Structure 1
Amino acid sequence: MGLSEREQRLLDEMERSLYATDADLVSKLSRPATFSPRRIIGGLAVSVIGISLLIVAVMLQFALFGVVGFLVMLTGLILASSNSGVAKAPSVAASTGKSAPKATKKEFNRSFFEDRWDKRQGQ
């Protein structure tokens, strides 16, 4: 179910004010996602070790060992999927909201969800 025009305007206004007031959020959203092959391979290797520990724990019927294996597996997956890019942060003047909110919003890359929303709305 789509949003009414009033709801859409309210959502846009809230989004603009959030971009204008929260510099930390702006810097996080404006960084491109870069993934390191080394980090992905390392994380997957840790995940495989965790799965192995989990299987061994099931074979030995030792629950505490299984919990440790699960935590190791989870840590590996988080490591493999985490954003490791150190991108240059946007300028402070752009993130403090001193310019018009619409101008600052145009500076940011469009996200996957914004593109999907525009497609859904027929824009």
Structure 2
Amino acid sequence: MALSEREQRLLDEMERGFYQSEADVMQTVSASRRRVNYRSLVLGIIVVLIGVGVLVGGVAAQQLWLGLIGFAVMLGGVMLMFRRGPEPSIESELSAGAKSGGGEGAAARSSLSERMERRWDERMGGER
């Protein structure tokens, strides 16, 4: 069964929108990946080892407060280990959006679901 001209146009528009949104998602995913900060990783490992030492010292001395301090130091070291590199600057995100031919400022920052909902509402509003 052949599609009418209007249905074919609508299908082509949906396909173009899908490819554009897919490119936006891939760009967002690649921009959100940051490099591992090796300095924080090594410093975190050292802090965890110091925390283990304090914890073992607290247990050996039978001092609960010293063991709790050691545990807190270990927890801080783990948090430091998993800290990522610096966030990409806003200027680099805006220039990346301008290079990719991104839309308006507010529309370019909206989430994929918000953009898709807005497009759907625009399409449905035109048919009523």
Q: TM-score normalized by structure 2?
A: 0.50
- Partner residue in 2 for 1:120: none
- Partner residue in 2 for 1:101: 116
Q: Distance in 1 between matches of 2:69 and 2:29?
A: 32
Q: Distance in 1 between matches of 2:67 and 2:74?
A: 10
How many corresponding residue pairs?
76
Higher helix share: 2
Conserved in 2, the CA contact under 8 Å of 1:43 and 1:78?
yes
**Of the two, which has the highest radius of gyration?**
2
Identity %: 24
* Long gaps (5+) in structure 1: 1-26, 103-123
* Long gaps (5+) in structure 2: 1-27, 95-104, 118-128
Q: TM-score normalized by structure 1?
A: 0.51
Give 2:109's aligned amino acid: S
- Partner residue in 2 for 1:34: 35
Say what the alpha-carbon RMSD is for the aligned residues: 3.0
Q: Counterparts of 1:1-123 in structure 2 under 5 Å?
A: 30-89=31-90, 90-91=93-94, 92-93=105-106, 94-96=108-110, 100-101=115-116
Which of the pair has the greater relative contact order for Cα pairs under 8 Å at 6+ separation? 1
Deviant stretches of 4+, over 4 Å: 27-30
- Partner residue in 1 for 2:100: none
